[in-house]
Structure 1
Amino acid sequence: MDRRAMVHSLDYLLSRKIETITGCVQCKRCEKQYEIGFDLEAKFAEIGAFIAKNKSFMHDRAPSVWMNPALPKCQFCEQENSSKPVIANKKRKINWLFLLLGQMLGCCTLDQLKYFCKHTKNHRTGAKDRVLFLAYLGLCKQLDPNGPFDR
Structure 2
Amino acid sequence: MLQYPLRHVLAAAPRETIPPPFPWATNHRATVHTRKYLLENKIVKIKGSVECKRCKNKFEMVLDLEGKFSELWSFIQKKKDSMHDREPKVWMQPVLPKCQHCGQENSVQPSLAGTKKKAINWLFLLLGQMLGCCTLKQLKYFLKHTNIHRAGAKDRNLYSTYMGLCKQLVPEWFGS
Matched, 1:48 2:66: no
Q: Take 1:99 and 1:47, find their aligned partners in 2: how far apart are those partners? A: 12
Could you say if the C-alpha distance between residues 116 and 128 of structure 1 is closer, same or farther in structure 2, counting changes exceeding 3 Å? same
Q: What residue is the counterpart of 1:78 in the other structure?
A: 103
4+ runs of 1 displaced by more than 3 Å? none
Q: What residue is the counterpart of 2:172 in the other structure?
A: 146
Aligned to 2:134, which of 108, 113, 124?
Answer: 108
Q: What residue is the counterpart of 1:34 in the other structure?
A: 59
Aligned length: 150
Q: Take 2:136 and 2:109, find their aligned partners in 1: how far apart are those partners? A: 16
Matched, 1:128 2:154: yes
Q: Which runs of 5+ in 1 are unaligned?
A: none
Higher helix proportion: 1
TM-score normalised to the size of structure 1?
A: 0.95
CA positional deviation for 1:125: 2.1
Q: Take 1:104 and 1:54, find their aligned partners in 2: how far apart are those partners? A: 17
Deviates most, 43-52 or 15-24: 43-52
| Identity, % of aligned positions | 60
What's the RMSD between the two structures over aligned residues?
1.4
State which structure, 1 or 2, has the greater radius of gyration over its C-alpha atoms.
2
Deviates most, 95-104 or 40-49: 40-49
Matched, 1:67 2:99: no
Letter in 2 for 1:122: I
Could you say if the C-alpha distance between residues 149 and 117 of structure 1 is closer, same or farther in structure 2, counting changes exceeding 3 Å? farther
Could you say if the C-alpha distance between residues 29 and 131 of structure 1 is closer, same or farther in structure 2, counting changes exceeding 3 Å? same
CA positional deviation for 1:89: 2.2
Letter in 1 for 2:168: Q
The answer to whether the 8 A contact 1:105-1:132 is kept is yes
CA positional deviation for 1:148: 4.8
The answer to whether the 8 A contact 1:4-1:92 is kept is yes
What is the CA deviation profile of residues 52-81 of structure 1, one whole-angstrom value per residue up to 9, with x for unaligned ones?
Answer: 221121010011000000111011000100
Letter in 2 for 1:99: L
Q: Take 2:118 and 2:146, find their aligned partners in 1: how far apart are those partners? A: 13
Q: What residue is the counterpart of 1:22 in the other structure?
A: 47
Q: Which runs of 5+ in 2 are unaligned?
A: 1-25
Q: Take 1:127 and 1:66, find their aligned partners in 2: how far apart are those partners? A: 14
CA positional deviation for 1:46: 1.1
